[in-house]
């Protein structure tokens, strides 16, 4: 079996500094970005259990919330915020309980436990993600645990993605 050794020397060591991207590297990066933007990578990787789902076809979610906010094809709009169990609609509460159970990070099992012991200040923001061309939309329940952005993206009543530390992880 042939092993590959990482290149060494002054050209590759960099001393912790970043090298400027070469023209070829920039071209490859722009091709990769175009493939991601067009949904090609999402569709291809979806066939191998690495992302994608049939319900996401009309609305391609990017890999991070930063990319989502910077997207030119998707829009994100604030629809409402809820603090505590008293003002939260039952449908949002059910989605939170389901999302936390599937996510598996917290031991909280009831809405009250989730809002008091898992979500900072019991505050949940509801955002709408919309595809500018198709009109397809998703509901994003966004909240924070410490300094970590967390949340759940729903297509109707179906959990489509879990947000963890800014990463959007599609559910199968």
Average pLDDT, whole number, for the chain?
Answer: 77
What pairing do the DSSP bridges indicate for beta strands 148-155 and 158-164? antiparallel
Q: What is the pLDDT of residues 31-66, one digit of tens each?
A: 445 544 554 434 333 333 333 333 444 789 999 999
pTM of the model: 0.67
| pLDDT, tens only, 104-147 | 999 999 999 999 999 999 999 999 999 999 999 999 999 999 99
- What is 120-154 written as a DSSP string? GGGEEEEEEEEETTT--EEEEEEEEETTEEEEEEE
Q: Which two tokens stand for residue 97?
A: 């309980």
Q: Please report which confidence band the pLDDT of residue 171 belongs to, taking 50, 70 and 90 as the band edges.
A: very high
How many angstroms separate the CA atoms of 135 and 65, rounded? 19
């Amino acid at each position: 079996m042939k092993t590959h050794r990482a290149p060494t020397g002054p050209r590759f060591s960099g001393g912790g500094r970043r090298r400027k991207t070469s023209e070829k590297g920039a071209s490859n990066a722009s091709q990769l970005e175009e493939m991601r933007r067009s949904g090609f990578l999402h569709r291809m990787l979806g066939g191998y259990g690495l992302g994608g789902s049939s319900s996401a076809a009309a609305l391609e979610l990017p890999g991070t919330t930063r990319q989502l906010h910077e997207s030119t094809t998707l829009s994100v709009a604030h629809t409402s915020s809820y603090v505590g169990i008293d003002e939260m609609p039952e449908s949002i509460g059910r989605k939170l309980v389901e999302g936390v159970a599937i996510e598996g990070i917290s031991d909280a099992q009831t809405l009250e436990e989730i809002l008091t012991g898992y979500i900072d200040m019991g505050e949940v923001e509801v955002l709408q993600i919309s595809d500018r061309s198709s009109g397809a939309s998703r509901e994003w329940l966004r909240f924070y645990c410490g300094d970590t952005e967390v949340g759940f993206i729903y297509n109707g009543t179906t959990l489509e993605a879990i947000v963890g530390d800014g990463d959007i992880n599609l559910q199968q």
